[in-house]
Amino acid sequence: MAMLAVVFTLGGCASARTGVTRDPWERFNRDVSSFNEAVDAAVLKPVATAYVKVTPPLVRTGVSNFMGNLGDLWSAINSALQLKPQYALENFFRFGVNSTLGLLGVLDVAGEMNLERHREDFGQTLGRWGVGTGPYLVLPLLGPSTLRDAVSSFTLDRTGNAITYVEPQSVRNTLYILKAVEARANVLRASSVLDAAALDKYTFSRDVYLQYRRAEIYDGDPPDPMPDAPVGPTVDGAGAPAPTAPASK
C-alpha cells in the first residue's frame, strides 16, 4: 500500500497545499461524460423511469434490500481492514441475519434490530491507509471515479462482489442489469435537479463525487486540508498526513 500511495501522489493528481484533486485527463473525461449522458438519455433514464412507474414501492424496497445485502459481507471485510471493528461486526451480522431471517436480504430484518449498514469498498480502504485518489477519471457507462477507485473496482472490489459468483451467467447478467436500473432509479430526482441547476454538469459532478468519496473515507467528518503540508503520501490525496492506523468510530 505504501508503494501505491507514492505512485498516486507523485502522479500529480492532488495538491498538498489546497487539497484539490486536479483533472489532467479533463478532455478525455468530458468526451466520456458526453457519451455517458447520451446513453443515459437514450436507455438508462427511460428504463429507470418505467421501472419506477410499473414496480410497486414494496417490490422496489425488496430489490434495494437484496442488492444492499449482497454488498454487506464485502463491506464487513473492508471495515475490518480499516480497523473499524464496530462497523465490521454490524455489517457482518447484517449479512448473516438478512441472508437467513430476511429471505436472502429481501427483508431488512437487521435494520429492525438497529444494525446499521456501513458501505465500504476497497477504494475507501486504500484511502484510509494513505493512498491518494490519483487523477479524476470518468469511466464509460460507470461514470465518475478516480484512478485509485477504478483500479480497486476492477480488481478486489470485483472479487468481493457476490454477484460475480452467481451461476448461471444469464442470472448473473440479469442481476447486474437490475442493479444498474435500481441505482439509476434512485437518482432520478437528483439528476433532474442537476440538469436544471448546473451550468457545467461535468465540473459539478466531478466536484460532488470527489467530496462525497472523501466524506465516505472519513465517515462524514473529513479533516480540513493542511495549507503548509509538505508534498508526500497523503490521505485520499487531500493534503493531510496519513494516519499510522485509522481510528474506529
Distance CA 67, CA 62 (A): 9
Q: Which pLDDT score, from 0 to 100, does residue 225 have? A: 60
The domain limits of the chain are: 2-8+41-219
Give the Å distances, CA to CA, from 1 to 14, 24, 106, 170. Answer: 17, 23, 36, 36
Task: Determine the pLDDT at residue 226.
Answer: 47
Q: For position 14, what pLDDT does the model report? A: 45
Please give the grid coordinates belonging to residue 82.
480499516
Looking at residue 194, its pLDDT comes to: 74
Report the pLDDT value the prediction gives residue 12, as an integer from 0 to 100: 39
The pLDDT of residue 21:
54
Below-50 pLDDT ranges, the chain? 1-20, 226-249
pLDDT of 198? 64
* C-beta separation of 98 from 147 below 8 A: no
DSSP 8-state symbol, 131: -
Task: Indicate the DSSP class of residue 6.
Answer: H
